[in-house]
Structure 1
Amino acid sequence: MVNKQKMNGKKIQFLFGFSFTLFLLSCSGTKNVVEVEKVKRDSLYTEIQRIGLEAARNNNVPGVAIAVIQNGKIVWTQCIGFADKENRKPVTPETIFNVGSVSKMVSAWGFMQLTEKGLVNLDDPVNDYLTRWKLPASQYDISKVTLRRILSHTAGLSVHGYGGSEQGTKLLSLEESLSGKTKRNGESVRLISEPGAQWEYSGGGYTLAQLMLEERTKEKFADYMKKNVFNPLGLNHTTYEWTEEMMKNSATAYDASGKPIKNRIFTEQAAAGLQTTVLDLAHFAELSLNYQPNPLHKVLKPSTVQLMEKSVLPFSDEGKSGLGYRFMYYEGFETVGHTGENEGWSAGLFMHLPTKSSIVILCNGSNGDRVWYPVYQSWAKRIKAN
């Protein structure tokens, strides 16, 4: 569920050498002046522009990229502020952001592709597919840990999330991470409740699924996703690794006080390690809203995408998930998608399936949830009222 907006803590405004509003840009890719002016007259565009700019200023978030989808198509995007405020580098449609746990929703496409290829069964014991590392013995039934339950956070597994490592440091192996050698919490992936008994968010489950994919395909997870998911879908600025090419267009990450920090890199790529642009992620949302075979380029069947967006039992007030997609609520208004928070980054993707509407919000600041949440509220109110 969407967390309540963080209201506590001192709000420190940051000032730039020249007007922040100078870099409030339309990056919709419209083809002529008439279309650009039409976008700018859109009342939702204007409202989100005002809300996003104010929230970014008040919460030390240098840059924001937003995309809005109506009737299953991107209608406009806008960019606010700086990808790198020290160098006065503005956010553009090509700016790369890390998107934290939004990674899970995207990685689920790779895992589900394995089921279509017959390499994995959604309801088989995941441990049976593993040789490099296996779930440790438990008082709970390990055979009930399945891909369906992992993707829906109902597998009873530990490790809520990951902190990553500073770029340039040596990463742990998947086996080391699963065994609990991470610096953030030192917690191994293990069963902490009976699989299928309750909803409990687990980034650790996605790390286990990442290992399963590597074992079944004999490929590195990032390589498999690029070749079999991103390239066919035309997501050409999306990767689970920080490549040199990606770094050229990357935003700088900023902590809660607005200070630049080094990018985080992750062994646990499926759970937290995705880099992408607002346009690529908005295109992913389009694909999640339009169940048509041709745009999917045989990456997934339309019926598989629809299955992923259906809730899996059990769920409760603590959370509700499909397969990679989470259900989120605002004043009784239900959306499906995901949010993500890593140090220096924050993101959200929300879809209203009945109207094929969506909003994507990417931020390069640790306080980004204080930006995307009021923007999301504004969008949700508008969709709910129509």
Structure 2
Amino acid sequence: MVCRMLKRQALQIHRKMIKNRIQGLVAFSFTALLFSCSATKQGVERGNTENMVSQTDSLYMEIQRVGMEATKNNHVPGVAIAVIQHGKVAWTQSIGFADVESKKPVTPETIFNVGSVSKMVSAWGLIQLTEKGLVKLDDPVDQFLVRWKLPASPYDISKVTLRRILSHTAGLSVHGYGGSEQGTPLLSLEESLSGKTKRNGESVRLISEPGTKWEYSGGGYTLAQLLLEERTKEKFAVYMKKNVFEPLGLNHTHYEWTEDMMANSATAYDASGKPIKNRIFTEQAAAGLQTTVLDLAHFAELSITSDPSQLNKVLKSTNLQVMEKQVLPFSDQGKSGLGYRFMNYEGLETIGHTGENEGWSAGVFMHLPTKSGIVILCNGSNGDRVWYPIYQSWAKRIKENKK
């Protein structure tokens, strides 16, 4: 009798274990399905794992549809998106793969290179130099340079100032940089400034009178990178990590590809959808930043609110507000603040920046009057064909809400 009772109990336990295992597998499969396209709820603290956003958010649903279609049609494996409302991240969304071969999904913690968005972030460290009294915005920068000097020019070198460099009005050459494949030796800053880059072989020099026209110059930001190193006696990436990223809590942001960064990095893909090696840059201030959508969205939050309690003494809120104002001159070719560009797509003026490197594409757009923003990071050379239709959906909603 006792034996039969024990057998019945054992059978019940066995059945319960099987039931729990099946339920666990179903839950795991459902979670895995959501992982490829999920979002954080408003109010969830930064760094927490993703939760599903309310499906009543029509913008979320529209961006999900647009993003899935655009990634599929343009050989871009993945995209990470963060939407800011009322000065705070409302939700994030992760679509597709960080790595196609391993089926590794994009998450809010996935690392992306962000190309020229680097300039907007670099400007914080450079403006911090002015708060420390190491340089003034309107000082001639050449007086502080030792390792490399601007070459002689028919234009006035003394008019090349930090204000003009950061606003692309300094009259300097070199639009952008191509970087090098990871694992290859990098040029020194001096070599890059002297034009030994493989992409264009163009040295940084004056090509117009400073202060007379807007002309985009990645070369100017490389000169500013040298200025920071000369004035602080520290490497640019080290200084930015210690004095900007860590105080702001941007713990997954760096101008170098560290081992930790590589472990969580997306794979870069060319225009045909083939994986390529990451690009590394001597010209870090201009093009070399790696970050996550969560970190960059927090940076955008700070840019939108200018809240002194959140800036943690990295910058004064008054200086940040100066950075977000347009600097003369500007033209149909472009308009900038200090690090921030003014953009007008779909009839909506925003500040922020876009970025394109081989295998990567990114966009940060902020509409200050409504304290709104969107951050979009892609791991493909065709990423502009992904972020633009996503931006269009967001911009349409902002314009509707303004009416």
Q: Pick the TM interval, shorter chain.
A: over 0.9
Structure 1: runs of 5+ lacking an equivalent: 1-18
Q: Which of 93, 100, 123 is the equivalent residue of 2:115? A: 100
Map 1:354-373 to 2 at 5 A. 354-373=369-388
Aligned pairs (5 A) from 1:166-177: 166-177=181-192
- Distance in 2 of aligned mates of 1:351 and 1:31: 21
Q: Aligned to 1:25, which of 22, 26, 38?
A: 38
**Structure 1 residues 17-47: Cα deviation after superposition (integer angstroms, max 9, x where no partner):** xx99872222458769xx9565332000001
User: Which SS does the other structure have where 2:219 is aligned?
Assistant: helix
**TM-aligned CA deviation for residue 294 of structure 1:** 1.3
The equivalent of 2:251 in structure 1 is 236
The 1-side partners of 2:78 and 2:135 are apart by 40
1:250 to 250, 253, 265: 265
In 2, the alpha carbon distance for the partners of 1:36 and 1:336 equals 29
- Identify the residue that residue 264 of structure 1 maps to in structure 2: 279
**What TM-score results when the alignment is normalised by the length of structure 1?**
0.93
Q: Deviations over 1:333-353 (max 9, x none)?
A: 100000000000000000000
Q: Deviations over 1:204-225 (max 9, x none)?
A: 0000000000000000000000
Amino acid at match of 2:275: P
- The answer for the alignment partner of 2:153 in structure 1 is 138
Greater C-alpha Rg: 2
**173, 176, 180: which one pairs with 1:161?**
176
- Report what 1:384 is aligned to: 399
Task: Establish whether residue 224 from structure 1 lines up as the match of residue 264 from structure 2.
Answer: no
Provide, for residues 231-290 of structure 1, a one-character-per-residue CA deviation record: whole Å limited to 9, x for no partner: 000000000000001100000000000000000000000000000000000000000011
In the alignment, is residue 39 of structure 1 matched against residue 59 of structure 2? no
Work out the CA distance in 2 between the residues paired with 1:30 and 1:168: 41
Q: CA deviation at 1:330?
A: 2.0
Distance 2:121 2:178 in 1: 19
CA distance in 2, matches of 1:155, 1:120: 16
Out of 138, 147, 161, the residue aligned to residue 123 of structure 1 is: 138
Matched, 1:307 2:322: yes
State TM-score, norm by structure 2.
Answer: 0.89
Gaps of 5+ in 2: 1-31
C-alpha distance after superposition, 1:144-197 (max 9, x if no partner) = 000000000000000000000000011000000000000000000000001001
Query: Kindly, what percent of the aligned residue pairs are identical?
Result: 81
Asked if structure 1 preserves the Cα contact closer than 8 Å seen for 2:53 and 2:91, the reply is no
Distance 1:21 1:85 in 2: 17
C-alpha distance in structure 2 between counterparts of 1:110 and 1:385, whole Å: 36
Q: Is the 8 A contact 1:96 1:249 kept in 2?
A: yes
Q: Which amino acid letter does the alignment assign opposite residue 320 of structure 1?
A: K
Are the aligned partners of 1:28 and 1:78 in contact in 2 as well (CA < 8 Å)?
Answer: no
Q: Which position in structure 1 is the counterpart of 2:102?
A: 87
Provide the C-alpha distance between the structure 2 equivalents of 1:39 and 1:294, rounded to a whole number of angstroms: 30
Residues 20 and 81, structure 1, Cα contact 8 Å, conserved in 2: no
SS in 1 for 2:210: coil
User: What corresponds to 2:84 in structure 1?
Assistant: 69
Is the 1:39–1:76 Cα contact (8 Å) retained in structure 2? no
Taking the aligned partners of 1:111 and 1:185, their CA distance within structure 2 comes to: 26
The 2-side partners of 1:208 and 1:186 are apart by: 16
Contact 1:27 1:79 in 2 (8 A): no
